Structure formats: C-alpha cells, structure tokens
Amino acid sequence: MINKNKGFVLALLTLVALFIVACQAQTVEVTKVVEVPMEVTRVVTDTVVEEGEEVVVTRVDVVVVTATPDPAAAEVPTTPSEPVTLYQYDTTDIPELDPQIAEDQVGITYIENLFVALTNYDLETTEIVPEAASDWDISDDGLTYTFYVRNDIPWVYHNPATLETTQVTDDEGNPRFVTADDFVYAIKRACDPNTGGYYSSVIAPIILGCADVLNYEDPSAVPQELVDAIGVSALDAGTLVIELENPTSFFLSMTPMWVMAATPQWAIDTHGDDWTEAGNIVTSGNYVLNEWIHNVRVTVLRNPLMPADMRGVGNIERRIVTIVPDISTGYALWLNGQVETSGIPAPELAAHLSDFASETVQIPDLAVFYISFRYTKPPFDDVRVRRAFSAAFDRATFVTEVRQGQGLPMRHFAPPGIFGAPPIDEVGVGYNPEYAAQQLADAGYPNCEGFPQVTLLGYSGAATLSWIEFAQDNWSENLGCDPGIIQIEQQPFAELLSITDASTPDDQAPHMWTLGWGPDYADENNWVGDVLWCGNAENRQKRPCTETDELIVEARTETDPDRRIELYRQIEENFFGEEGEFPFAPIFLRIAYTAVHSWYDFTPALFGGAQWYNYSIDQEAQLAARRR
C-alpha cells in the first residue's frame, strides 16, 4: 500500500483534498497502443563449432512479430525463492533511455533507476539530498556551485545472456567509477544542439554559456571555443564546478534532473544511437537493464555493485513490465493479482470503489492540462478570441462529470505545492461565459457569426475524445459556435508533439491542441519559464515576446523569495487574468485513482521518476495472490 503519512506528500494531499469533489469514475488517458507488425529485439545465444571446438556466441537479433502479446500468459512464480519482483504494465514502450534526450515520464523513471544524478529528491520531504555528489558549496554571489562527487560509484555492464553484472574497465584495465568528468560530458552534451533533447532548453538559460551553444545559428559548426566556455568543469575526478549565467535560487532543485545525469561517453562513442539497448548499455544506478524486447516487455535487475549506503530502503530485486494495448488489459491483470498497480477504466470505477476501497488511492501528480492556441493562425491571432475560448470552458463541470472527480479546476498554470504558485482560486478568469461571449463579440464574431472553421487536435484515446467533445459542446452553448466549425481530430502523442512544434508551418499545424505539463522541479519557473517564456526553442504557441517575458527573466534571477512570489503572481495574472494574453486555456490538475495491491508499499515521487529502490513488496502475500 502507499505510505501516505509522509511530510510533503501528506501536506499536499491535505491541501488538494479541500477541493476534491465526490469520488466517481475515472477517465484514463491512453497515449499509445501496441501496433502490429512490430520489431522486437532479442538477445540470442548459439553454440557454433570453430576449428573443431564449440564456441558460445551471443548476438542481438531484430525480428518482426505480428501478434500482440497476451500479458495474461506471463509466467506465474511457484516458489518464494525467486527474486522479490515488482510486476507492472505500461501502455507504451520506453520512448527514450538516453538521459540527455528523454522527455517523457516513462523514460525518465527508468533513467532515475539506471543512472545516478548529482542529487536526488527525498520522497518524504521533497528536500534535495546527496546522490553522486556527497556535498556541495554555493558561492556568496550565487553564481558558482561546487559539487564533491563520490569516488565509489562503479560504471557497470550487465550481460543479458549470462545475467552477470560486472564493473566496466578502461582500455588499460582500470575499473571505471563515476567522476566529475562524466557530469561535464553529460551537461555539455545536453547543451549541444545536435543532441536534440527538449530539456536542453530548460537548463540552457541557467548554465553559463549553454544557451550560446544550444542556439548557435549553424548546429553543425559550433565553434569549439563556445563549447569550452560552457560553465561546467572538473577540477579533478571528485570536484565538479557549475557556473550560472545569473544567480538562480532554484538551481539546486534542478540538479536531480535526468538531463544532467552522468553519462558514459565511451559507450556512446562505441554504439552510437544504439548505446541504450540491452546488451550495449552501461549504467551507474541501482538497477541494470536485463531485457528490453521493444513493445513487449522490459526487465531490470538490482545492481549488486552499488555502494551499500546508496541502495535505498526497499527490497525490490527485479521489475518486470509488460507492454499492453490499453488500460483495460492492465486492469484485468491487476484483478488477477498479476501486477501491483493499475489505472481504473471509467466503466469499472464504481464497482472497483465498492469492491476494493482499501486498495485504491487518489494522488495528485501536479500535472496540469490545457488547450493551447496557435498565435499565428487566425482567428487565434486575436487575443479576444483566445480569451473567449478559454473562459467558455466549464472547468468544474468537466472535472465532476467527465473526469468524474479526478482533478481540480485550474484558472492559472502552476499547481499547489510549487514555489511561487498563486492560490488556486485567486488568479485567472477561469469559467465566465458572459465575459467569453463579450470577448468574442468584441473580436467581431457576435454569437460566433462569421467565425471560420478551426481544428482542435487531441491525443489518441477515448478519454481525450470526451475532453475535446466537451469543449466543442461548451463553445456551442456559451459562444454560439456550431459544433461543425470546430473540427476535432486525434493523433498519437508523439505525432501531436511533432505537428504542434514551433517549426511546423502554420498551414499544417492545428489551431488548438490538448497538452499537459508535469513538474520537473518545485519552482514556478518550471511552469511559466520553461513552458511559456518566449525565448524557449519549444515555443509551440509561437507567442511573441512581451513585457511579461521580462518579468519571467526577472523572477528567474531574483534572490528575494517574497519578491519572486509577487512577480509570479503578476506573471500568471498577465497570462490568465481578464486582460491576459491566454497562450492556452488551463483546464485541470490531474488527481487520478490508482488501484494498489496491499502487498506493495511505496511513496509516490512528485518530481523525477519513481524510486523502485525505496519501495517494498510483501512477497509471501504477492505470490499467494499470483497463484490464485
């Protein structure tokens, strides 16, 4: 079960509980479905005869399979002597395991467990605690951070064929340990525009010289002197120095981020884009990658070479994840005791709450979802149209009836629990149909007369379809817009991200689209700065710079916390108040129901990924359920 009586998590749950409506059924967002045919990577061991002697040869084969795997056919253990195993499912394969490229929660969670970062978040308090860095100093001017890197974290290689995990050695046979140089390489790699990671743009404005490299006009010809000027260096193997562009009070809260995790340069140089595949990957964290059969199954095992004081308090020795086509399949596995946790399909929720109330939790993950507008596509180049479409959306009814109690209505962007976020009900217009109708009339479309046909693009899945259809109905009722002029479409998440990219020509991009943002670190800059600042390379709305962007930069560099709070309140008002520019319509904060078997004990991670090494399984109870 979830341990809810823990510091920050308990405080946040108490806060949001004041706003949660009656418990009803869940809407589940499915972002990817297993497709057929599909490529599957397998490690194969053969015995061949060479010069009269038998030789064992291991190879990696890529084959095409056309059958969707049946997760219910997963092997059921018959003896408690097997490793303590966390069984889970995903509805999507791992999109990316490279720390400098990953940008989704699935990949980030694996990276949290496979690689070490400079620091980590304490699950109970969300305080920054040591990880690879045992300690650190901050200069008086706030511009220089010195991290003291441990000398006993080994780089390891796991052989999927033999199941052996061994320490990596260099060309001279010396054992490799994580060093300050591995962090220098990782951070400079993140600043390289050719790496192609989204989160490069998050750290670039903070680290000295990083933005100069990331935004260089010709990525193929970045001058070496610019790379050398990036503010990250190793004084020796155990001392890492990071210099900032400006004093940034929240920088330490960014240091657990995967994008700055130590990365093995020699492995990347050897294997290129395939360096993260099972059988190639070199890691440094609490787990090693044992098996990655794409779109089928992923298995990780405990790293036996991890220093004892870094192994966490959990007992999970193995994690096996089965990729399933949808959440209904996953929930069936949960009912059969085959996985520890599951989302709950909406049609099943009422019965589930009746039958499994003691094995159900509702946790805010601080993810805020919104409908975004393209500034450069008329009629949404008119701020009054953007205001109208935002204010005509009935957030409270949506949360109650469509989300069925699994969320909070949002009038601005940053959620409770984030430093600098204004109170949830004090800033922003929210739902105001009279204001919305007047704004649309002022824009020249009274009662939506003469309004052109526009597109609204959502993720794939029935849950998102119900969301965008609700929006369509609201705009019809409150603005007079015939549903036929709001052309709704759905695409897989990756395709939605591609078509809404700032580089996509306007004639190919939608007018509106659904999207959400979850926290990477506990500061409002992660919301208005990393998403809405006009200087971001990922400026999907293509919004021009305004005075509000100057406030964002000022808030980022301000050292007085009271002044920062004041600035962020003004920024949110400038975006979502009555005279706001409304780059998007904030809709809801997600607080989803999760089914959790009683034998699984974990504390959710609000930032970064789940920490499997701190979670535990009552194996006797688990195995008894799996044998039923």
Domains 38-319 and 364-590 share a fold: no
Distance between CA atoms of 27 and 334, rounded to whole angstroms? 18
pLDDT of residue 26: 33
Top-level CATH class of 38-319? Answer: alpha beta
Distance between CA atoms of 97 and 107, rounded to whole angstroms? 5
Q: Which amino acid is at 570?
A: Q
pLDDT of residue 497: 85
Q: With beta carbons less than 8 A apart as the criterion, state whether 542 and 502 touch.
A: yes
* In the chain, where the domains are located: 38-319, 364-590
Q: How many angstroms separate the most distant Cα atoms in the chain? A: 88
Region class of 489: left (phi > 0), else alpha (psi between -120 and 50), else beta: beta
Distance between CA atoms of 548 and 556, rounded to whole angstroms? 12
Phi, psi of 437, rounded to the nearest 5 degrees: -65, -40
pLDDT of residue 174: 96
Give CA angle at 607 (604, 611), nearest 5°.
Answer: 50
Distance between CA atoms of 13 and 7, rounded to whole angstroms? 10
Phi, psi of 569, rounded to the nearest 5 degrees: -60, -40
DSSP bridge partners of 372: 513, 584
Q: Tell me which residue of 575, 565, 563, 490 sits closest to 532, measured CA to CA.
A: 575
The reply to whether CATH 3.10.105.10 applies to domain 364-590 is yes
Half-sphere exposure of 618 (CA within 13 A, CB side): 11
**Mean pLDDT (10-residue bins), the chain, 628 residues:** 35 43 32 31 40 42 38 44 94 94 93 98 91 97 97 98 97 97 98 93 96 95 97 98 95 96 97 97 98 97 98 98 94 96 91 95 90 98 98 97 91 93 94 98 98 94 87 97 94 86 94 93 93 88 96 93 96 98 97 95 90 97 88
Q: Is the pTM of this model over 0.85?
A: no
pLDDT of residue 553: 94
Distance between CA atoms of 362 and 590, rounded to whole angstroms? 10
210: number of Cβ within 10 Å: 26
pLDDT of residue 462: 77
Phi, psi of 138, rounded to the nearest 5 degrees: -125, 130
Contacts 24+ apart (CB under 8 A), 352-361: 352/593, 352/595, 353/23, 353/593, 356/595, 358/598, 359/1, 359/595, 359/596, 359/597, 359/598, 360/593, 360/594, 360/595, 360/596, 361/1, 361/2, 361/4, 361/593, 361/594, 361/596
Instruction: Show the tokens assigned to 40.
Output: 């599957």
Instruction: Show the tokens assigned to 178.
Output: 């994580």
Q: With beta carbons less than 8 A apart as the criterion, state whether 132 and 115 touch.
A: no
57: number of Cβ within 10 Å: 11
Q: Which residue has the tokens 């098996």?
A: 291
pLDDT of residue 353: 93
